[in-house]
Copies of this chain bind each other. A is one copy, B any other.
Amino acid sequence: MSQRHTGITDQLTPPVDATPHSHPLADCPLREVLALIGDKWSTQVLVQLGAGPRRFTELERAIEGVSRRMLTLSLRSLERNGLITRTVHPDAPPRVEYATTPLTNGIREPLEALAAWADRNRPAIAAARRAYDTHH
């Protein structure tokens, strides 16, 4: 990934321009984060677990539209990356509880900011979409 044709292998961040307010976004971390929680269900799981530990079936019921397979895959992925914990209780009817981790707590704030942005700009986005759809 290079800028223009300098021929020089530079950083992954784009060239810094003259605009004073422009902070180059490091894109690699962004891709990593999207690899963690960018899929359809992971954020939903995090939202649910943000309100306290949940059992598998509770999550399945709470997250509308998720299949058992996809919920399992999402939970495994989140667990593997340290974003949630999975604890099996040795009960007669099997009981498994999922919960957040310190890692999760750190990511909550950025996600909230993102959600807040979406909330604030919902009208603007809808308007842009209407305008585009009208003209095309």
Contacts and interface: CB of A to CB of B under 8 A. Distances in A.
Contact of A2 (B29, B34, B36, B61): B61
A108 B23 contact: yes
A120 to B, nearest CB: 7
A64 interface: yes
Contacts of A73: none
Contact of A82 (B2, B32, B128): B128
Contacts of A1: 62-64
A52 B106 contact: no
By Cβ-Cβ distance, the 10 closest A-B pairs, closest first, are A82-B128, A29-B118, A14-B51, A29-B115, A110-B113, A12-B64, A27-B47, A80-B132, A15-B62, A33-B118
